[in-house]
């Protein structure tokens, strides 16, 4: 690279083809737009301190830029930033001391440098798959509330997210390399719950100190376990005994007993004064479906949807209540409300429903012109021949109006598709008919959801309808 100031607007250096921007030739405008080319040369990088303390409020960086050096844009008043989608490197403190509120980091940037975004006003940060390292203080002293980390992250450096307001933190599981959380990485935040990915092998001192944690879930082995006398092996890594200190409401630390190793191990300290005074220590407990109910009192320890079975009949209380069974009567496990020859307990185990489905005529298919119209007519109050004429499939198992009426009645409150407490042909009936015709999204719900509905979105409506359509 050699200097070339032939352009009246920019200072830069180049190698004949590509160009590194050094700053403005005179004073910079507050709304700075970096060009893709200058004098026919592609702008591929921004030099150290190029636009430091220039009073910038807006910044546009072209896709051609692959590298942004140390302190390039530090100490301005930039409020928004879109990083180039193929950015390769960002230097230390490159954007520190600005006013950014939202940031999306492309996965092309494998490492986020020390203090790169220190001291901004960030509220939400999304980090793309491909980023592996977030270094010292990279996002320290912001106001981040929501943070998403990809499975590719392997190392969170010291003070990486220190002194923010993070309440919602998600870190995608599935990473293949060992991951480290270094000292003070999440200290002084507002975390309530956090799930630690299975590949995390090291959690250093005070990594989660001064939060509001109530629940921590480990998906993998206990980091740095010494093993035990009954065959549980030692595990790699290390977990400092101060990692979770000063979370006085932290009462639950969960793991899965099998196949993970090293658990439960020693108690984990969550509150302790200085010195040798004993603190409050939590013994981790197994919760293999990670539903917040420990396995020893969870009737369905491998099913996160259910935990209680008051009558010990093998069917969850919530499931029985939903389908009109009695959660305090074990004898209903052998009942067959829809007369399909399958008991309620077998329906539960098979993932089907015990009391009615949208296959009203029982021919093994869900059809708008038969099942949908039968249900709609039933909701309109039609019965006898007026209900069934012209709407029964040729291969139907149920052809008499009395049988059809019984199967519609078996649906009960499940036919209240929008959940407003009333079964109405002009809302619930039309929603069902449209869905059976294959309509989804806004087209499904437009104009047919009751004003007092509790299910108002297409996602919720579709989810409820799907429960009424088990595999046939």
Higher pLDDT, residue 275 or 408: 408
pLDDT digits (tens, 9 = 90+) for 126-139: 999 999 999 999 99
Q: What is the mean pLDDT of residues 391-398?
A: 91
Q: Residue 271: CB partners within 8 Å, gap ≥ 6? A: 245, 246, 247, 248, 250, 279, 280
Check whether 173 has a pLDDT greater than 50: yes
Q: What is the mean pLDDT of residues 182-198?
A: 96
**What radius of gyration, in Å, describes the C-alpha atoms of the chain?**
30
pLDDT digits (tens, 9 = 90+) for 27-43: 999 999 999 999 889 99
Structural domain boundaries of the chain? 308-350, 368-467
Q: What is the mean pLDDT of residues 341-363?
A: 86
> How far is the C-alpha of 65 from the C-alpha of 14, rounded, in Å?
14
> How far is the C-alpha of 122 from the C-alpha of 112, rounded, in Å?
15
Q: pLDDT value at position 433?
A: 94
**Residue 372 backbone dihedrals phi, psi, to 5 degrees:** -60, -45
> How far is the C-alpha of 172 from the C-alpha of 150, rounded, in Å?
5
Residue 98 pairs with which residues in a beta bridge? none
Instruction: Please list, residue by residue across 412-448, b when 16 or more beta carbons sit within 10 angstroms of its beta carbon and e when fewer do.
Output: eebbbbbbbeebbbebbbbbbbbbbeebeeeebbeeb
- Cβ(97)–Cβ(75) below 8 Å: yes
Higher pLDDT, residue 409 or 324: 409
Q: pLDDT value at position 278?
A: 46
Residue 218 pairs with which residues in a beta bridge? 196
Q: What is the DSSP letter of 334?
A: G
Q: What is the mean pLDDT of residues 210-236?
A: 79
> How far is the C-alpha of 330 from the C-alpha of 322, rounded, in Å?
16
Q: Which two tokens stand for residue 196?
A: 């630690």
pLDDT digits (tens, 9 = 90+) for 438-468: 999 999 999 999 999 999 999 999 999 988 8
Q: Which two tokens stand for residue 311?
A: 């009558």
Nearest to 186 by CA among 207, 200, 202: 207
Q: Which two tokens stand for residue 399?
A: 């052809």
Of 164-178, 207-221, 301-315, 327-341, where does mean pLDDT reach its minimum?
Answer: 327-341
Q: What is the mean pLDDT of residues 300-304?
A: 89
What's the predicted TM-score (pTM) here?
A: 0.74
Q: What is the mean pLDDT of residues 368-375?
A: 93
Q: pLDDT value at position 231?
A: 53
Check whether 2 has a pLDDT greater than 70: no
Pairing of strands 200-203, 238-239: parallel
> How far is the C-alpha of 92 from the C-alpha of 71, rounded, in Å?
6
**Residue 15 backbone dihedrals phi, psi, to 5 degrees:** -115, 15
Nearest to 217 by CA among 286, 310, 125, 308: 286
Angle formed at CA 25 by CA 24 and CA 31, multiple of 5 degrees: 35
- Cβ(253)–Cβ(216) below 8 Å: yes
First-to-last alpha carbon distance for the chain, in angstroms, is 70
Q: pLDDT value at position 277?
A: 44
């Amino acid at each position: 690279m050699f200097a070339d100031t032939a352009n009246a607007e920019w200072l830069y250096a180049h190698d004949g083809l590509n160009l590194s921007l050094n700053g403005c030739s005179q004073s910079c405008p507050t709304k700075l737009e970096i060009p893709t080319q200058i004098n026919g040369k592609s702008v591929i990088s921004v030099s150290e301190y190029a636009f430091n303390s220039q009073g910038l409020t807006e910044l546009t960086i072209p896709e051609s830029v692959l590298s942004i050096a140390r302190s390039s844009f530090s100490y301005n008043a930039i409020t928004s930033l879109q990083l180039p989608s193929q950015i390769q490197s960002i230097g230390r403190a490159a954007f520190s001391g600005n006013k950014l509120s939202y940031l999306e980091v492309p996965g092309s940037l494998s490492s986020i440098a020390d203090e790169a975004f220190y001291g901004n006003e960030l509220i939400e940060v999304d980090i793309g798959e491909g980023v592996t390292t977030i270094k010292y203080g990279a996002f320290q002293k912001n106001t981040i509330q929501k943070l998403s980390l990809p499975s590719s992250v392997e190392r969170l450096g010291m003070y990486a997210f220190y002194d923010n307001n993070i309440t919602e933190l998600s870190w995608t599981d599935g990473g293949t390399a060992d991951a480290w959380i270094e000292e003070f990485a999440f200290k002084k935040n507002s975390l309530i719950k956090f799930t630690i990915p299975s590949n995390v092998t090291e959690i250093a001192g005070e990594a989660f100190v001064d939060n509001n944690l109530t629940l921590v879930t480990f998906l993998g082995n206990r980091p740095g376990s010494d093993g035990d006398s009954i065959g549980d092996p030692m595990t790699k890594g290390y977990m400092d005994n101060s990692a979770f200190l000063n979370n006085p409401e932290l009462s639950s630390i969960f793991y899965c007993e099998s196949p993970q190793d090293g658990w439960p191990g020693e108690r984990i300290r969550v509150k302790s004064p200085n010195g040798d005074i004993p603190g409050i220590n939590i013994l981790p407990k197994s919760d293999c479906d990670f539903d917040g109910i420990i396995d020893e009192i969870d009737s369905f320890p491998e099913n996160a949807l259910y935990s209680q079975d008051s009558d010990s009949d093998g069917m969850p209380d919530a499931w029985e209540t939903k389908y009109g069974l009695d959660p305090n009567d074990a004898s209903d496990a052998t009942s067959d409300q829809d007369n399909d020859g399958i008991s309620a307990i077998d329906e539960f185990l098979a993932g089907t429903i015990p009391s009615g489905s949208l296959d009203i005529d029982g021919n093994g298919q869900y059809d708008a012109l038969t099942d949908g119209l039968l249900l709609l007519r039933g909701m309109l109050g039609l019965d006898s021949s007026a209900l069934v004429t012209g709407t029964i499939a040729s291969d139907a198992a149920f052809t008499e109006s009395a049988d059809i009426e019984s199967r519609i009645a078996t649906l009960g409150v499940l036919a209240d598709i929008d959940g407003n407490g009333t079964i109405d042909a002009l809302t619930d009936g039309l929603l069902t008919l449209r869905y059976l015709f294959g309509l989804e999204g806004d087209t499904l719900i437009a104009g047919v959801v009751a004003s007092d509905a509790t299910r108002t979105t297409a996602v919720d409506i579709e989810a409820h309808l799907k429960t009424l359509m088990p595999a046939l």
